Amino acid sequence: MELTVETRAVPPFEVLEIGGEIDVYTAPRLREAVVEAIESGKLRLIVDVQRVDFLDSTGLGVLVGALKRVRADDGTLDIVCTHERLLKIFQITGLDKVFGLHDSVEAAVAAHA
């Protein structure tokens, strides 16, 4: 399966809407999209994984790396996720305590108001 990445601005945030599977084969595409956003000065990111069917450790690594990069410049990275199987991955790894997990883009934006 392929990975889709669509970006849109919800000032002051950049939303990356991800679809498909995030695994060892597609994670470089996600990393590329995140790096592109950061290098263009967008340090307040929301990654929407509502259309993600599968997430492995490689994908988690990309998200953690992205969080480190934006935090180094006082940025933020929040994740929109309501799928139980993905939420369980965040819980098992303890990343639910690291990332702001929200049920919608609006909730992620409101968390920073």
Q: What is the pLDDT of residues 14-72, one digit of tens each?
A: 999 999 999 999 999 999 999 999 999 999 999 999 999 999 999 999 999 999 999 99
For residue 83, pLDDT over 90 is answered with yes
**Are 58 and 24 spatial neighbours (Cβ–Cβ below 8 Å)?**
yes
Residue 18, classed as helix, strand or coil, is strand
- The pTM of this model reads 0.96
Question: What is the pLDDT averaged over residues 74-86?
Answer: 97
Using DSSP, state whether 39 is helix, strand or coil: helix
State the first-to-last Cα distance of the chain, in angstroms, to the nearest integer.
Answer: 37
pLDDT at site 33: 97
pLDDT at 39: 95
